[in-house]
Amino acid sequence: MQFDKELDARGLNCPLPILRAKKSLTDMQTGQVLKIVATDPGSVKDFEAFAKQTGNQLLSSSEENKEYTFYMKRK
């Protein structure tokens, strides 16, 4: 998937992946896509809730080798 910016949140635990993503999205333009890579299993539910609360669109999420990848579109 195409993305405009990447955030490496590996090794960070809740709530740091969300906080870093929020800061990154603030610096982006409407419609741009942020790729987030995290290792915290709780980040799956966290990013789903974050998308609902903020209006940013969670385009996809996947897990491979205990790494979680999210693509989030800036509202």
What distance in Å separates the CA atoms of residue 69 and residue 18, rounded to the nearest whole number? 13
Is the Cβ–Cβ distance between 30 and 75 less than 8 Å? yes
CA atoms within 13 A on the CB side of 2: 2
Catalytic residue among 10, 12, 14, 71: 14
Residue 45 annotated among the catalytic residues of the structure:
no
Token code pair at residue 51: 């998308």
Reference 25, options 70, 61, 66; nearest CA is 70
Just list the catalytic residues. 14
